[in-house]
Structure 1
């Protein structure tokens, strides 16, 4: 017999998420019950734990199904996650065009992650026609909502003058804001600006933060880039980046 969900647990998605940290298996049963009862937040959360294998057997195909159920009920994050399933081939075939459809809907609903993911496709021409102007607009909108990754990419557009007039001062400010908001790529961008200004100690601080939070792809690209720095202390960070990349591979 499964865990009997109390009424207040069905209605409180925040409690369901908190339960995942305390007792993942018990939480998974509660989430499943709430999802079957039609709670959209629980349906989206069930998709996530099935994707991650958190408290339940990992099943990306079933995760995709639950994301679709929640998305069809109007859940914007589930719509975004359905896009990610299509983009990355989680639980089915890779389909960038279908990913773009879902991201666009999530973006239209005002979801910052939907705006970010849709902009990524627009900026690379994957699944949609290449459109830097619209990508920039999406990044800007998400950045103004506080989305850290979008802040960094908005900075990149402004620094390079892509689909806009180049504005290094604004670019650097967005890099700083992205770094402070916790994005490791924003931290790396901010560190590069600080190093160029001769503020090496400050740059090293942000490079360390980026190292701590960076994923494998970021570390593999950024490590060699550090070897081009003029300051030996920054070049020495390349070894640390490579070591962590090796540990994650």
Structure 2
């Protein structure tokens, strides 16, 4: 999902902000192409298409980029990613790095005709060699995963490093991840913490979470429970379940924040609703004990059951609940689970409404 959203975002901007080396059919930009750009920015999409199309058909790379954006985003025309990809491919063939990147995104994530990971990797490589930061990061990801060709963690780290040095938050995060576990490069916890910090300070939620873990444990960075909780919160507020669960634990244990059962239950609930099994088990325990929420055996059994489905089993809690679970409670929970399995709303209680 991140890739498709990123692609859609850049599709809007790329035609109008060329930042990389590219080959143009002509050195002087036609006045009506400038007008097409202005029309696009003002959401006069049909006018933008009418003005840009003649130049695109004559081989003007930026005009081809504009048509690619219009078709892919469905602006002023029925959305057609295949047609969008065709126009991007024409601009990419001229060496336009933005087009090479966007064409690669559609090949890898857009489900266009004739798409393949091999073609996407080639297109990202062409753009990456021209210094296109997002392409360098995408290429690194494909190399790290072995998509579109052989897996090569060392080369992945090289491309991440290239983009990270120029401030790309995603590249900083992925390089830090490799360094933290010693993949593609020798393990270096201090450098991983530095890179996670750079990425997190740009708002990268996963980097904030990973940095929080390092601060919590004192791995590669001075141990600091207060700073760890702050990083967990930054990621939790962006909706990252693991960070929400960690922030819940911080409130439960009073680590880096003042102990607060209500806040602990709130963050466990946020993570539990997003499928975090550890948080589901913690929330089940809160309901059984009545800590931070109103005591509710039905809710405790429901969240415990969901946690078990996720591979987390608390036998102590299970045995403690057992004497209080009536046939009616079991039947009620079974019905709620059936609704969840069927994809119907069941509104499981979180105690955080």
With the shorter chain as reference, the TM-score category is 0.7 to 0.9
Give the drift of 1:31: 2.1
Once the two structures are superposed, the pairs formed by residues 179-198 of structure 1 within 5 Å of their partners are 179-196=236-253, 197-198=260-261
Distance 1:142 1:58, change over 3 A: same
CA offset at residue 16 of structure 1? 6.8
> How many pairs align?
233
Check conservation: 2:245, 2:268, Cα contact below 8 A: no
Residue 161 of structure 2 is aligned to residue 104 of structure 1: yes
Scaled by the length of structure 1, the TM-score of the pair is 0.80
**Aligned 8 A contact 1:151 1:177 in 2:** yes
Partners of 2:252 and 2:273 in 1: CA distance:
15
User: In the TM superposition, what are the counterparts of 1:110-189 in structure 2 within 5 Å?
Assistant: 110-189=167-246
Looking at structure 2, the residues matched to 187 and 100 of structure 1 have their Cα atoms a distance apart, in angstroms, of 29
TM-score, normalising length: structure 2: 0.58
Unaligned runs of 5+ in 1: 212-221
Partner of 2:266: 202
Secondary structure of the residue aligned to 1:27 is: helix
Please give the secondary structure, in 2, of the residue aligned with 1:28. Answer: helix
Check whether the contact 1:35–1:46 (CA below 8 A) recurs between aligned residues. yes
On the 8 A contact 1:226/1:234 being kept in 2, the answer is no
CA distance in 1 between counterparts of 2:223 and 2:89 reads 50
**Aligned residue in 1 for 2:114:** 57
Distance 1:64 1:201, change over 3 A: same
CA distance in 2, matches of 1:40, 1:16: 19
**Structure 2 segments unaligned to the other structure (5+ residues):** 1-52, 254-259, 289-298, 312-340, 342-353
**Correspondence for 1:218:** none
Secondary structure of residue in 2 paired with 1:227: helix
Larger radius of gyration: 2
Bigger share in helix: 1
Q: d(CA) in 1 for partners of 2:300 and 2:185?
A: 39
Match of 1:10? 65
Q: CA RMSD in A?
A: 3.0
Q: Deviations over 1:98-157 (max 9, x none)?
A: 111111111112100110000000000001010000000000011111111111111111
